[in-house]
Amino acid sequence: MIGAVSCAGNGGEGEAKSRSEEGGYLGAGHWELDISYRHQYSNRDYIGPVYQVARTLNHSQVLNQINLETVTLSYQANPRWSFQLNTPFLVSTRVSESNPGHVFDSHGIGDISLTAQSWLWRPPTESRGNIALGFGLKIPSGNDAVKNSFVTATGTTTSTVDQSIQPGDGGWGIIANFQAFRAVRKAVFFMDGNYVMEPGDTNGVMTGRKAPLEAIMSEPDSYLADAGVAYPFPKIRGLAVNFGGRAEGIPARDLIGKSDGFRRPGFAISVVPGFEYSRNKNVWTFNLPIAVYRDRSRSVPDLEDDGHGDAFFASYLWLLTFSRRF
């Protein structure tokens, strides 16, 4: 699940500004292009919050490697309202250490989203802070049924790749997001996040799993939230360091509609060090969420079958973003 909330608003002559500069308002009538990259390597197995160390010791881990590039184009229509087009591109692989010869892979465009966002107070504000609320639509543009073929001793076998590396999930989504900041002297405290609601139940793609209740892939909700503080780095103009926390995951039950089919609900909580560097109309951002708590929750089929599935989590993520205003 990717869902960075765009920083938008009204600012001086469209120059790029980071969170450390009181919100980095974008000027009315201006555009912003964000190119972001997310890398994660999931290799630690969890059932609930318990790390399954035996999978590591006996080399039966499943190794997921996900590279996600996202291009976001934002337009500031007036001092309060902005609009964003978000297009993700996925390149990923999945392999089991017990069968390293069969590497599953997928790539392609993901689910595109269109969002609108408005500041509650017309910027700039006397309080040196503001709150923005947004809403939007997730379009099922990504392939949700990628298949791979392998040559075996008995012939060629074709299998649907795991849900975790499918470019899309097949469902239409309703997006709700927020963004808030408050400057206190040189420091800027910030919070942002989003929730994607998918009213659909299942997408019709067969998983190949033996359990009847997990035979078809689910269309799950997803969420992401960040909070922290940014502070300008002494004696280096345009550089700011930041530190905060992050939570992201998939709930067991959707807010709207049924929650049948196969999904891996759960969440990860991370601490996030990082930095931002702004120069002229450009901003470079790097964040490194380091997981401190992971939990694979029970899904609806788990509850009905009195079971508890597992999931592999990453120990950390790389999050890189380049922004250009014009």
Please check whether residue 208 lies inside any domain of the structure.
Answer: yes
User: What's 121's domain CATH number?
Assistant: 2.40.160.40
Q: In tens digits, what is the pLDDT along the chain, a chain of 326 residues?
A: 222 222 222 233 333 344 444 457 899 999 999 999 999 999 999 999 999 999 999 999 999 999 999 999 999 999 999 999 999 999 999 999 999 888 999 999 999 999 999 999 999 888 899 999 999 999 999 999 999 998 888 888 999 999 999 999 999 999 999 999 999 999 999 999 999 999 999 999 999 999 999 999 999 999 999 999 999 999 899 999 999 999 999 999 999 999 999 999 999 999 999 999 999 889 999 999 999 999 999 999 999 999 999 999 999 999 999 999 99
Single pTM value for the model: 0.90
CA distances 324 to 73, 79, 193, 212, 281, Å, are 10, 19, 22, 49, 6
Give the separation between CA 170 and CA 168, rounded to whole angstroms. Answer: 6
Q: And the tokens for 94?
A: 């999945």
**Structural domain range at position 304:** 19-325
- The answer to whether the beta carbons of residues 55 and 45 sit under 8 Å apart is yes
Q: Give the chain's domain count.
A: 1
Please check whether residue 214 lies inside any domain of the structure.
Answer: yes
Say how many residues make up the chain: 326
Please check whether residue 235 lies inside any domain of the structure.
Answer: yes
Contacts of 234 by beta carbon, 8 Å cutoff, 6+ apart: none
